Each structure stands twice: as structure tokens, then as C-alpha cells.
Amino acid sequence: MQEVLRSLGLKEINEGCSTGQNWFSNGEVIESFSPVDGKLIGKIKTATKADYLKVVSTASDAFKFWREIPAPKRGEYVRQFGDKLRAKKAGLGKLVSYEMGKSYQEGLGEVQEMIDICDFAVGLSRQLYGLQLHSERPQHRMMEQWHPLGIVGIISAFNFPVAVWAWNSSLAWICGDVCIWKPSEKTPLCSVACQNIWNEVAKENNLPEGISSLVNGNYVVGQLLTADTHVPLISATGSTQMGKIVGATVAERFGRSILELGGNNAIIITENADLDNTLIGAVFGAIGTAGQRCTTTRRLIIHENIYDKAKDQLVKAYAQLKIGDPLNEANHVGPLIDKDAVKKYLNSLESVISEGGKIIVPGGVLEGKGFESGCYVKPAIAEAKNDMAIVQHETFAPILYIMKYKTLDEAIALQNGVPQGLSSAIMTLNMREAELFLSAAGSDCGIANVNIGTSGAEIGGAFGGEKETGGGRESGSDAWKAYMRRQTNTLNWGSKASLAQGIKFDLS
């Protein structure tokens, strides 16, 4: 691991703030321990308010430069950034896996998402289109164009320690914005590694400080960003609890926010499902990243006629799961992020029982050789009712709730009957069932899939959810519009002044 850390420019003690080539920080030191083996990976100095103010001032200056660069040229810098990510994919993927605890394959997948969104952003840098509209006045032209917003504040969660930043930053950069990133205090080394990669691009192209900046620290540093009127857009990924505070703070100052918050995702398994395919989607969805994805499958809503068969298959599949070091490709399930997460997992299992649920695959914490970090837990399954308080709540751990339904309308009501609205799926080979699920009377989530589980998404589509998931959209499709401001222009190229709505105003 030491070699990987060195190749990513990481030291034993790292400065936590950067505006580019400049690294500094005067706040307290946080330590990053790996949930894989409990070992200290490195230390990071956090930002003080003075450090933060320096970063904002540098970013404000950089915006004046960056907004003048033609968008395709900005795209060229993002292309170079993507190329560097390609070259460093193995190392960065390993660091993601070791600091966050997801499997090495998923760590590589996360870096691949960064590369993919860079490619997407490069193409988009030539397509930031506006509309041309017919004016109601003669010899007038009306159009819409999109301008950059300024500084985009990116607050990210621990479970996607690098990709979420890239989803936001690569789009924001080609749009002409500059970014300040406040990463999770649980995965700070990943952020330093990413900033180092951008810094190489900036240095090689003689770009000024402040196009990409980093401020490490906990929620206190996050609050500096969210309350700051110099930051017109905050893109915040994390818990619904955090989103409620961030959303209110940003709205209070008339800023904009993209909120990507908790999910409580379900798969409906109908009588017409291809059960073999269903099982792969459901089990990966429930136990991948040890249940720590916003899109993790938390509920299975199964038709009563196939309930027992599906349940048996699930129990058998869970018996085959291998739990252990996520860097070892033979293992399916790695650790939770920390002991606090383990406590929440255990409390949730207790609540399942006290609220009347029935555990059918028991959970528990693993001990002994290979599990010294104390963060490895067994994926559990419980039969539960949708209206139980614990089922309505997102526990960020591998606990899967299963329940029966009779009619598809009932199943859709169950699927929609939670406060969150991120990802959803139906498993069916029946066209009418699939189309109903995708219709306005179907899933109320931001993502609705057919014959694919809830977990994971392609960067080409807009990503985000409804209700308590926050309503934000990131990544593909036209999500770029959130990073820009729309301006309507009307231009009189004739020789007469004329007012809209036919209003006459004669000065003679």
C-alpha cells in the first residue's frame, strides 16, 4: 500500500487544503484508518476559517479567468484529467478500496466512472446549447444562452469518495465554473490523491490556482461553504439529515442546491420474473459495498405465489457469501466504514425484532483473524412490514427486508410508501407490468429499472431522486444546466423601438 500512496503523492501527514500547486492548512489533524485492517493510513490537516477564506478568494479570482476560456478548450483540460485518471486507475482504485472498504473491483469501477464522466464532459463542452426563439416584435431576435454560475461547492459522502466529486467537477469545469470540494472526513486521503491529479493538469497547462480547490474537515468546514454567498451552487451528497440543514441554509441566502441524499430502494419481483436474473440483481444490490450505497436494495416486494421459492433461493445465496478483505477478489462483502456504522447496524437488527420483524438470515459482527478492524458484519435478511419504523428508515448496512404482495397496485404502493425516492426496480417479463411500473402511476423514484437491480447507474443518464432524496440531478443527460445560469436575450436589429405586448408609448 505504501507504494500506492506514494504514487498518488500522499505522505504520512498531508496538508488538507489546496488551490492548485499551493497546499496549506492550519486546523486540527484528522487520522484516516482503514476499515479493511484497522491500520492508520495517513493524517490530514484540516481547514481553519482563515484557510477557507483564502481558498474562496483564490477561487473567485480563478473564475474571472476560467469563464473567459472557450468551453471546448476547458473540455480539453478535462480530457487531459481523464487521461491521467486512466493512467492512475489501478492505484486510485486500490486507495478507494483500502480507505473506504469497498471491493477492489468496485474501487476500479468508481475510477472508471470518473473517466467516463470526463469523456462525457469533453463532448458536452461543444454542446452547451441555448434556444433560438421567434420574437413577437418585427426585426427582433430572441434567444436563450447559458452562462457559468461561479464557484460550485461540492460536499461529498464517504461511500463514493472520488466519483461524486468528478460527476460534479467535470461538468462544472466545462460549464466555466470553478470548484471547491469538501470531501467526507472519513475518506480524506482519496480527496488529496484526486486533487494531486488535477494539480498535475493545471501545472502542465500553466493554469492559475483556484480552478479546483480542496478544503478538508468535518461539517464545520461544510457549513462555511453552505453559508457563503460567494458560492452560488452547493452540490451536497450525504444523509437526508445533512441535506435538510444544507438545503435550508443555502435556500435562506437564495443560493441553489443539488441535493443527493439517502435512498430506501426496493425491487418488486412479480410472478413473471426471470428468477435467476432477479437473484443476481437483488443479492448484488443488497450486499454490494456492504449495503453502503445510496442505491442499495433495502426491500424486496415479492409476489405471494413465488414468495417461498424466492426466499429459499435468497437464503441459499446468502449462505455462499464470502466476507473479508475487499482487496481479495474472492470475497463478496467487505467491511462497514467504521465501528459507529457497526453500532447502527446492530441497533437496527434489534429494532427489526422489537418491531415485530422475523430474522431469516441472522446478522452479527465477525471477529478473529482478518476481522481485526471490527468493521466486518454479516449481511442479514428479515421478513418485515413496510410500515415498520425501521423499514421506513435508511440503515446504511447490509440488512434486506422482504415482504409479500398480491396485486401489482399494492406492490407499487409499498414501493412508493417510504419517505425516500431514489432508485427502484421491477423484475418481470410481462410488458404490461413493466410499463405500468414506468408510467406516471408507477414508481415515484428518480430511477426506475426493469430487470435490473436498484444498485448502480450509468453516467449517461441524469442521476438523483425525489422526496427525501432531495430532488437533485447530476451526471448525464441535461444535468449540466444546474451548473449554469440561463439568460434570455432579446435583440432589436431594426430601426424602430417597439414594446412587448403591443404596448404603445408615444413621446411625440
* Positions marked catalytic: 260, 294
Which residue in the shown chain puts its C-beta closest to ligand NAD?
222
Sign of dihedral through CA atoms 25, 202, 168, 449?
negative
Q: Which of 157, 192, 197, 202 binds ligand NAD (CB under 6 A)?
A: 157
- DSSP letters along 87-155, please? HTHHHHHHHHHHHH---HHHHHHHHHHHHHHHHHHHHHTT-----EEE-SSTTEEEEEEEEE-SEEEEE
Query: Is position 160 an interface residue for ligand NAD (rule: CB under 6 A)?
Result: yes
Identity of the residue, 269 or 397, whose beta carbon is nearer to ligand NAD in the bound complex: 397
Strands 265-269 and 297-303 turn out to be parallel
- Of 219-227, 276-284, 344-352, 364-372, the window that binds ligand NAD (rule: CB under 6 A) is 219-227
Contacts of 281 (CB under 8 A, 6+ apart): 267, 297, 425, 427, 451, 452, 453, 455
**Cβ nearer to ligand NAD, comparing 239 with 492:** 239
169 binds ligand NAD (CB under 6 A): no
User: Residues of 255-285 as b/e, b for ≥16 C-beta within 10 angstroms?
Assistant: bbbbbbbbbbbbbbbbebbeeeebbebbbbb
Q: Shortest CA distance to 230 belongs to which of 174, 146, 153, 148?
A: 153
Report the residue from 135, 223, 430, 477 that binds ligand NAD according to the rule CB under 6 A.
Answer: 223
Cell numbers for 354: 422489537
Which C-beta is closer to ligand NAD: that of 146 or that of 483? 483
Other beta carbons less than 10 A from residue 60's beta carbon: 15
**Site size for ligand NAD, by CB under 6 A?**
30
Is residue 25 at the binding interface for ligand NAD, with CB under 6 A as the rule? no
What is the total residue count of the chain?
508
Which DSSP symbol is given to 207? P
Contact call for residue 168 and ligand NAD (CB under 6 A):
no
Report the site for ligand NAD in 175-204 (rule: CB under 6 A).
182, 184-185
Considering only residues 238, 247, 285, 326, which one is a binding residue for ligand NAD as defined by CB under 6 A?
238
Rank residues 94 and 467 by Cβ distance to ligand NAD and give the closer one: 467
Neighbouring residues of 217: CB distance < 8 A, sequence distance ≥ 6? 16, 27, 30, 46, 47, 182, 185
Interface with ligand NAD by CB under 6 A: which range of 13-21, 217-225, 447-455, 487-495? 217-225
Binder of ligand NAD out of 92, 412, 422, 462 (CB under 6 A): 422
110, 260, 325, 468: which one binds ligand NAD (CB under 6 A): 260
Is 226 a residue that touches ligand NAD (CB under 6 A)? yes
End-to-end CA distance of the chain: 82
Site for ligand NAD in 432-491 (CB under 6 A): 465, 469
Return residues touching ligand NAD (CB under 6 A): 155-160, 182, 184-185, 218-219, 222-223, 226, 237-239, 242, 245-246, 260-263, 294, 394, 396, 422, 465, 469
